[in-house]
């Protein structure tokens, strides 16, 4: 379990605060779920969100503990504090969900996303794209005389910013992984 860097003592119960504040302002929260890696587990989580009308801004999933058969699902969601509490409580109710962590409230966390951008163009635009990619520390993972594929990792905002810059320079395709997140420190 320690390999998962999930905070000790943070059980699925502690993630939902039964005395939340009741503001009506929407918040963005990053949730990390530790789930049993079994067929249908992702469908359970997604089905819950769809059925109850919760937002999913981003979702990533992969096995993180092979021997323990555990996967980690990272979900970025939005809602008022009351809705966020509901989301956590409802998610925690799924039998195959072992732990629910709200990284947004459990302390500082790092969020990273990987994206690939295909930019086509010639002349000045091509040069400018390459120059900006350099500034953003994006790697060129494929190139032809008319196109580049850039690979970039970073916080979602950084990737959004890079996308904004590439758009006028001939952006023709984007693939993003969605957010992976871990709490900071030990």
Partner 1 sequence: MTRQMTGAKMIVQALIDQGVDTVFGYPGGAVLPIYDEIFQQNSIKHVLVRHEQGAVHAAEGYARATGKPGVCLVTSGPGATNAVTGLTDALMDSIPIVVLTGQVPTFMIGSDAFQEADTVGITRPCTKHNWLVKETDNLSGTIHEAFHVAMSGRPGPVLVDIPKDVQFATGEYTPKAAKKSHYQPQLKGDMDAIVELVEAMEKAKKPVFYTGGGVINSGPAASQLLRELVEATGFPITSTLMGLGCYPASGDKWLGMLGMHGLYEANMAMHGCDLMINIGARFDDRITGVVDKFSPNSKKAHIDIDPSSINKVIRVDIPIMGDVGHVLEDLLKVWKSRGRKTNSEAVAKWWKQIEEWRAKDCLKFEQKGAVIKPQYALSRLEALTQKYDRYICTEVGQHQMWAAQYLGFEDPNRWMTSGGLGTMGYGFPASIGVQMAHPEALVINVAGEASWLMNMQELGTAMQYQLPVKQFILNNERLGMVRQWQELLHGERYSSSWSESLPDFVKLAEAFGAKGIICSDPDTLDDAIMEMLTHKGPVVFDCLVTKHENCFPMIPSGKAHNEMIMGEVDTSTAIDAEGKVLV
CB of 78 to partner 1, least distance (A): 18
- Residues in the interface with partner 1 (CB under 8 A) total 24
Helical H runs in the chain? 41-52, 81-93, 123-135, 156-166
Count Cα neighbours of 84 within 13 Å in the Cβ-side half-sphere.
28
Q: CA dist 42 to 33, 112, 134, 152, 174, Å?
A: 11, 21, 37, 27, 24
Angle CA 37–42–44, to nearest 5? 110
Q: How far is the CB of 91 from partner 1 (least distance, A)?
A: 9
Of 14, 80, 96, 153, the residue at the interface with partner 1 (CB under 8 A) is 96
Question: x/- binding map, residues 157-176, to partner 1, per CB under 8 A?
Answer: --------------------
CA distance readout (Å), 12 to 43, 54, 68, 95: 20, 20, 17, 12
Q: Segment 8-67, which members bind partner 1 (CB under 8 A)?
A: 13, 16, 18-20, 22, 36, 39-40, 43-44, 47, 51
Q: How far is the CB of 98 from partner 1 (least distance, A)?
A: 6
Query: Would you say 47 or 107 has its CB closer to partner 1?
Result: 47
User: Footprint of partner 1 on residues 73-92 (CB under 8 A)?
Assistant: 82, 85-86, 89-90, 92
Give yes or no for a contact between 150 and 159, defined as CB atoms under 8 angstroms apart.
no
Nearest by Cα to 33 from 79, 78, 89, 81: 89
x/- map, 117-136, partner 1, by CB under 8 A: --------------------
* Footprint on this chain of partner 1 (rule: CB under 8 A): 13, 16, 18-20, 22, 36, 39-40, 43-44, 47, 51, 82, 85-86, 89-90, 92-96, 98
């Amino acid at each position: 379990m320690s390999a998962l860097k999930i905070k000790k003592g943070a059980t699925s119960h502690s993630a939902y605060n039964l005395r939340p504040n009741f503001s009506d302002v929407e918040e963005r929260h990053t949730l990390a779920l530790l789930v049993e890696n079994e067929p249908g587990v992702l469908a359970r989580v997604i089905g819950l969100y769809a059925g109850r009308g919760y937002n999913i801004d981003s979702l990533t999933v992969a096995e993180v503990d092979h021997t323990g058969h555990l996967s980690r699902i990272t979900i970025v969601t939005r809602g008022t504090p009351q809705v966020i509490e509901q989301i956590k409580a409802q998610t925690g109710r799924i039998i195959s969900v072992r732990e629910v962590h709200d990284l947004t409230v459990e302390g500082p966390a790092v969020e990273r996303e990987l994206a690939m951008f295909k930019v086509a163009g010639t002349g000045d635009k091509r040069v400018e794209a390459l120059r900006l990619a350099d500034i953003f520390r994006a790697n060129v993972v494929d190139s032809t005389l008319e196109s580049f594929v850039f690979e970039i990792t970073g916080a979602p905002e950084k990737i959004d910013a890079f996308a904004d810059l590439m758009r006028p320079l001939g952006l023709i395709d984007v693939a993003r992984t969605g957010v992976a997140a871990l709490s900071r420190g030990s």
